[in-house]
Every structure is written in C-alpha cells, then in structure tokens.
Structure 1
Amino acid sequence: MKLLLGVALLCWTADMARSMTITTTEGMFEKAKGETVHLPCKFTIAPEDQEPLHIEWIKSPADNQKADQEIILYSGGNIYDIYSEDLKGRVYFTSSDPKLGDASINITNLQLSDVGTYQCKVKKLPGVANKKMQLSVLVKPSGTRCYIDGSSEIGSDFKIRCESGEGSLPLYYEWQKLPNTEKFPAVSFSDLNPSIISVRNATTEYSGTYSCTVKNRVGVDQCLLRVNVVPPSNTAGTIAGAVIGTLCALLLLGLLIFCCCKKHKEEKYEKEVHHDIREDVPPPKSRTSTARSYIGSNHSSLGSMSPSNIEGYSKAQYNQVPSEDFDRTPQSPSFQPTKVAASNLSRMGAIPVMIPAQSKDGSIV
C-alpha cells in the first residue's frame, strides 16, 4: 500500500514539473550605479494548467533585518507596480503581454539600495514554478585625481599619488608614462597601496607626464599628472627676502601710524586754540550804548569845568555821537576825572555844554 502511494506521489510531482517550467537558469548580475539591469524569467505552460495566470516578483534585501517585499505583480490581465517606494517608476515587465511566456523585468537607474535577491514566481494552477537571482550594484570609479606629495627637486624624495573619489572595491591601479614609448623610470610601488609611486633621490629623468588608470568590475577612470624635477631652490635667499619684506612692511605700517597720530594731534590743537580765541572776544557794542556811555563821560567831565569855560563850550553841537573807533579806545576803570582848562579841552576835541546856574536850594537862577 505504501509503495503504491509513493509511486503515485512521484508521478504527481513529475506531472507538476512537466506542467509549469521556468526555462531561465539562476544567476548573478553585476551592474553599475545608474545603469539598467534585465532580470530574465521565461516560462512554459502545460495543457493541464487551466487556472488564471499569476506572476509575482519578490525582493529579499541584503539586510536580513528587513522583510521581503513585492515589487511588481501580474494578475487577471492587470499589472500592479505600486508596492515598493524605492523601485516605484523604475521597474516594469519587458514584455507587453507577460502571459505569452515572458515574465522578465527591467530595473532602470540602479541605486545601491537595489542590491538583494530577486525571485520570480509563476502560478497557473495546478502548475507552480519560481527562480531566484542575485543582483549587485557597484559604483564606477570617478573623480580620480593625481598629485605630488613632497618637493619635486633634484636629490629629494617625493611620492606620486592617485586617488579615486568614489568606486566600489576592489580597485585596480595602473601607472604609465606618456607617451607609451617613453621608458618608465625605476620607482618603488607599494604592494599594500599600488596607487602610490615612491621616488627617491629624484633626477631629471623622472620629469614627464604620468597617467593613472583606476578600474573595477563595472568601470574605468583616469587622471594625468605633469611632473617637473627642478634644481634645488635658494632657501636661504628666500628666507632672507621674506624677512626683509616683513620688516619693510612693519616699517611702513609704523610710519603710517605715526603720521596719522601727528595729524590727529595737530587738528586737536587747532580746534582748542580756535575755541579759546572765540571765548576771549567780547560781543560788539551797539551804537546806542556807545552814545550813552559817551554822553555820560561828557557830563562827568563838564562837572569839573570852571564857569569861565562854559560859554565857548556851549557853541558846539550837543547831539554829536562819537564813532566806534573812539569807543574802542581803552579806558582804565579806576580813572578819576580831573579839572582841565577849557583851552586844553578844545584842543582835545571836547564839546562845551552850557549848564544853568542854581541856587543853594536847587532853584535855577
């Protein structure tokens, strides 16, 4: 009985294998970032497979902590590609009608996040089949630069370096001196880092153009470097020139500061002197005050005149006002008027004024 059941199970498994078959073999695919990859999945259907066709692509990320996710689905004659945010708009079936036997897909603009295992499942009951394939996304070498590390003078030691800005490991380096016919000088290559050439006791034969080519499994990049081995420079003269130049600059700076300070002091002194002079100058006197002061002084002078001089003195005009020049004549505040003869007053330019006589009680005579 058990033997009959075993034979029946084997026959059923064989029928299942014959009913649905994926002809594409499993494989590994390596592509560069930004490129398009084609993941093949072609199948055949047996006459006994009568149920609706169902095609499903599943991605298993390289990170085992992340769950599997559907990326595209064909069911009931419709295509659904809205399951993965990372691949949205970048994955599609190669065939416009997958039910004809081609469930292959293309993924465009590959990113590093696309790395993982992709599985193609085809169902048309009772037939079922699936295949897995591995996708690796690599970065081409780019941004490669060549430069000299050290002084490229005769007799000195320096290094020629080649660095790639980005690129998936492993990277392979190849040095060449241009043109190709020119002999490459004897240099030391580092086994651990072939991107470096070490030059010892340099001579003029090391001068020339060097080419560094960087490769990996998906791309190539290159950089060029011109090396000129020159005679040693006059270090002492350079240092002396730098010191003299620095001293001259400091001297000029000090002279400029001194001139600025001197000019500032002169301007400050002129402002102070001008301010003192303006404070010492008295305000100008008005003509009215000048006239009054002059008349008052005349009354004081007349009070000391004798009666014999009054008659000649009264003939002059009474309302004559002295000029400003006369008012400017300095007078001593402590000066006391004295009696002066009428003849002397006339010579001095005094103006006689008639004063009526008064009695002892103050009445006019």
Structure 2
Amino acid sequence: MVSLPGSPATSLLRFLFLGLTTLAPPSRAQLELHVPPGLTKLQAVEGAEVVLPVWYTLQGEVSSTKPKPWEVLTLMWFLEEEKGLMEVLSHISGVTSSKTGASLVYSMPSRNVSLRLQGLKEKDSGPYLCSVNVQASQGKESRVHSSRTLELNVLVPPAPPSCHLRGVPRVGTNVTLGCQSPRSKPAAQYQWVRSPPSSQVFFAPALDAIRGSLSLKNLSISMSGVYICKAHNEVGSAQCNVTLEVSTGHGATVVAGAVVGTLVGLGLLAVLVILYHRRAKALEEPANDIKEDAIAPRTLPWPKGSDTISKNGTLSSVTSARALRLPRGTPRPGALTPTPSLSSQVPPSPGLPRTDGAHPQPISHNPAGVSSSALSRMGAVPVMVPAQSQAGSLV
C-alpha cells in the first residue's frame, strides 16, 4: 500500500517512479546513493531532530559534485509502516512538498538529498526509503535511478514515575515501596535511595530494578525518612519520592489491651456468678430434700412410771419418777402443776385394738390436790393424753 498525496497525474508519476526504482536491477544502475559508514541505523531522542544523510553520484564520478545543467532530479522519501509506505518528502520537477517537521538539508538543485526531521515522536521510528531518479533534459542519456534504506529509532526518556506505599508502616511489620514510569523507550530501570541525612542505596534482593519495587522488612523507627525512586534509561531519567513514617502502634496496643482486659473481667464475673448460684443451690438441697439413707434420731430412754406418750411418738407430758415418789399433796419445788388429761374422762374407742387384753389406766386428775375448776380458773388448758398399756404400747 502506498500513500501518495497530490493530483492524479502526480500520484501516477510517483508510483511509476517508485516501481522503476525498486524493480531496476542493481547491475544496470548508473547512479549510486551513499551513506556515511556506520550510519545506516540512527537513534534520536523524542522531541529532538535528526538528519538522515544521503547523497548520490553518477557513474565514473569519485565524489559528489554539483549537478550537471542537464540533470533533472526526482527525489522521494518514504517511511515504511505496517500498513504500507507513507510519503515523508518529495521533490518533483523543482517542487518540494513534505509533511510537518520534514525538510531537505540542502536546497535544490543539489546532489545531497539528506532529510531533516524535527520534533520527533516515537511513531516516527522505522525504516526510511530514499529514491533518486536522474534524467537528462535533452533525452540523450537514459534514465538512472537508485534507492537506499536507513533505520531510525526514536528513543523516549522515562516519564515522571509515580511512587506509592503498600502496607502499614509499624514497628516490626513489612512494607513495599513501588515505583513505575508510564512511558519509556527502552524500558526504564529503577533505583531506590534514601535521602540525607540517613543516605542509603538499595540493591537486590530488596530492590527489584525491573519492577521498581523495594521491600523493607522488620521496620524500626530509625527506618523512617524520605525514599527517592529514580527511573532511568539511556536517554534520560525522572524521579519521585515517598515519605515513610514508622509508628510504634501504642494506640492500637492500648485499645487491644483494654478490650482483652474487659473480656477477661466479664469472664471472671460470669464464673463467680455461676459458683455463687451453685453454692446457694447446694445449701438449699439438704433443707428441702428427704434423704432415704438418713438415720432416725434415737428414742430417749424413759424411766418407769413416766406419764403417757402420744401416738406419734412425741413426748406429751412427762413426770419424772422422782416427782411421782413424792407424798401426795406435796408440790415439787419449781415444778408446774400438770394439767389433767381429757383422755381419762373419755371412754376408749371401741374400734381401737387392745394389746394382751389390757385396759387403759386412768391418770390421776390432780396429784397436787388442786381441783379441775380451780385449774380452769387459773387458765390451764386440758390436754388429751393417750393411755398406755402395761406392755408399753399405746391404746
């Protein structure tokens, strides 16, 4: 594909010229293009300018001289791109046209057909084809033509990189400092340094010169400072910096300690509450529960001649044997007058069984000689006392 701007006639002429130049066998060429030794591959920096040096000679000439009066020069410069040839400059029939930034070093007519490119951009990189066609004005000599290719590589210095910090800069932790340039040709290399007063230069393995990362491990307060990243290649450099402030993290430690202390305190309080409830429950169980294996209390030995015992085995009224031995009518010192039992006045129930045919024995109404009416006036309460057989069983 060939991009040839201009009128249809001019475009056709350029196309035929390019075809003759590229198809003509070198053995029949009578015109030769020259390039300084070692300059077939050129490098330039973006934004600068470069000169692609080319001149031609005719057959039999040792060096370039001024063109002959009869020479009619047709000159074209192309940039070879992936989509085809793109015209950069042309000089046809004494008229020169070019794209922005392209021009001839020498004004025509001249046998030096060098091309100057200004304000270079990265997209200007690539092979440049120079085609020259010389024809005599009188038509006495045949057309002579030749072409030559030069390689141009436009380099790009690193664009200002961006610095960043990954991680939490606290004592004992690890962080990574990152640095990356968005644009560079060739790819930038990276170097990290620590600025004064604590100057330090870092190397592998802590430094990754390709990715631009710097790993700092087991941070300490003394590692705080300004860290500078320098991105560089063979045509330029740029830098950025990041400030590292390593903290002790006391605030976080205090908060964590307070939380842990609170949790421990709540746990101890819960344990104390549980133990208190268990102890209270253990104290309540003996009072409420009846234990089957508990031993019944021993029956007190009663002397012979004691008063009657109630049916449920409890002592209702007991008169000691010693008191009973006192003569009738003699009150015992410090003793209360017994209350006569109502059971002595009530006949025995016909339904109650008798043991060994014994009959209930009546109890003395008033051993002290005090009448029942007098006792009632004194406020005495009558008590029913069951009778007891001679065998000691209750009736």
Q: 2:36 aligns with which of 8, 13, 24?
A: 24
Deviation at 1:198, TM superposition (A): 0.7
3-state DSSP of counterpart to 1:220: strand
Aligned-pair distance for 1:221? 0.8
Asked if the contact 1:143–1:164 (Cα under 8 Å) also holds between the matched residues in 2, the reply is yes
How far residue 131 of structure 1 moved from its aligned partner, in angstroms, is 1.5
Q: CA RMSD in A?
A: 3.3
Task: Select 1:89's aligned residue among 72, 83, 100.
Answer: 100
The residue aligned with 2:46 is 33
Q: TM-score, normalised by structure 1?
A: 0.52
How does 1:76-115 map onto structure 2 within 5 Å? 76-81=93-98, 88-95=99-106, 97-115=107-125
Contact 1:21–1:45 (Cα < 8 Å) also in 2: no
- For residues 142 and 238 of structure 1, the distance between their equivalents in structure 2, rounded to whole angstroms, comes to 45
Name the counterpart of 1:209. 226
Pair 229,118 (structure 1): closer, same or farther in 2 beyond 3 Å: same
Q: How far apart, in 1, do the equivalents of 2:132 and 2:197 lie? A: 56
* Structure 1 range deviating more: 48-57 or 129-138: 48-57
Q: Secondary structure at the match of 1:140?
A: coil
SS in 1 for 2:72: coil
Instruction: Tell me the CA shift for residue 240 of structure 1.
Output: 11
Match for residue 52 of structure 1? 72
Could you report, residue by residue, the CA deviation over 1:228-271 in whole angstroms, capped at 9, with x for unpaired residues?
A: 22212412666999xxxxxxxxxxxxxxxxxxxxxxxxxxxxxx
The residue number in structure 1 matching 2:132 is 122
Structure with larger RCO (C-alpha < 8 A, sep 6+): 1
C-alpha distance in structure 1 between counterparts of 2:96 and 2:127, whole Å: 21
Q: CA deviation at 1:211?
A: 1.9
> Aligned ranges for residues 195-274 of structure 1 at < 5 Å?
195-235=212-252
Contact 2:75 2:133 in 1 (8 A): yes
The number of residue pairs the alignment matches comes to 219
| Alignment map for 1:1-365 (pairs within 5 Å) | 16=29, 19-25=31-37, 27-45=40-58, 50-61=70-81, 63=82, 66-81=83-98, 88-95=99-106, 97-125=107-135, 126-179=143-196, 182-184=199-201, 188-189=205-206, 191=208, 193-235=210-252
Change over 3 Å in CA distance of 1:238–1:162 after alignment to 2: farther
CA deviations 1:120-156 (Å, max 9, x no partner) are 1122244423221112234321131222211111111
Distance in 2, matches of 1:164 and 1:138, equals 15
* Cα-to-partner distance string for 1:68-106 (whole Å, 9 max, x where unaligned): 13221112222122xxxxxx32211122x2432221112
Report runs of 4+ in structure 1 exceeding 6 Å deviation: 12-15, 238-241
- Change over 3 Å in CA distance of 1:32–1:41 after alignment to 2: same
Q: CA deviation at 1:171?
A: 1.4
Give the structure with the higher percent helix.
1
Relative to 1, partners in 2 of residues 1:187 and 1:209: Cα closer, same or farther, differing over 3 Å? farther
- SS of corresponding position for 1:56: strand
Partner Cα distance (2:100, 2:194) in 1: 47
Matched residue type, 2:72: P
Task: Point out the structure with max Rg over C-alpha.
Answer: 2
Distance in 2 between residues matched to 1:121 and 1:193, nearest whole Å: 42
Q: TM-score, normalised by structure 2?
A: 0.48
Once the 2 structures are TM-superposed, how far is the Cα of residue 110 of structure 1 from its aligned partner? 2.4
What are structure 1's unaligned runs of at least 5 residues?
1-11, 82-87, 242-365
Deviations 1:312-359 (A, max 9, x none): xxxxxxxxxxxxxxxxxxxxxxxxxxxxxxxxxxxxxxxxxxxxxxxx
Cα distance in 2 for residues equivalent to 1:238 and 1:187: 38
2:190 alignment partner AA: Y
Question: What secondary structure is seen at the aligned counterpart in 2 of 1:99?
Answer: coil
Counterparts in 2 of 1:70 and 1:179: CA distance versus 1, 3 Å: same
Counterpart code for 1:31 = A
What residue ranges of structure 2 are gaps of 5+ in the alignment? 1-24, 62-67, 136-142, 259-395
Q: Which moved more, 1:221-230 or 1:42-51?
A: 42-51
Amino acid in the other structure paired with 2:239: Q
